[in-house]
Amino acid sequence: MHGHSTCQSGIKVNPRNRWPKRVLAVGEKNDPNIRVCETSTLEFSSLAYITLSHCWGHFVPTQLLIENCSGFLQGIETDNLPSTFKDAVEVTKKLEIGYLWIDSLCIIQNSPEDWANESSKMDSNL
């Protein structure tokens, strides 16, 4: 995105009080893994990230659950993700944005409390 001021002007940057609790750190260009990142650990005053909004349909994608949350903080192999998610990770990297937000991977799906807290911020994510 270097030298693309018109592209950069379309990137939404959220102030800290509107950050989602979690985003996906996509890593470097050739990194095969992503990881869930708690935004409270980031040392930025604003956060730029891309959002993937998708319809699950009959297929339930890879999900963040109470049971796998600590593992997802360590890393998620992109090979294990649906193609829509892989494509979103690839686009995020190509745009040189460090973070991506996907509801099924950033909101704990089997936690009503997390859904209530995080869904109230979804309008800021889009």
* Digit-coded pLDDT (tens) for 64-106: 999 999 999 999 988 889 899 999 999 999 999 999 999 999 9
Q: Where is pLDDT greater, at 18 or 66? A: 66
Res. 1 pLDDT band, cuts 50 70 90: very low
Residue 13, pLDDT above cutoff 70 = no
pLDDT at 6: 46
Mean pLDDT calculated for residue range 5-12: 53
Q: Which residue has the tokens 């903080």?
A: 73
Mean pLDDT calculated for residue range 16-41: 88
Cα-to-chain-centroid distance, residue 20? 9
pLDDT at 124: 60
E strand or H helix that includes residue 51: strand 50-52
Please, is 8 exposed, middle or buried when counting C-beta atoms within 10 Å of its C-beta (0-12, 13-18, 19+)?
middle
pTM score, two decimals?
0.82
Cα-to-chain-centroid distance, residue 45? 18
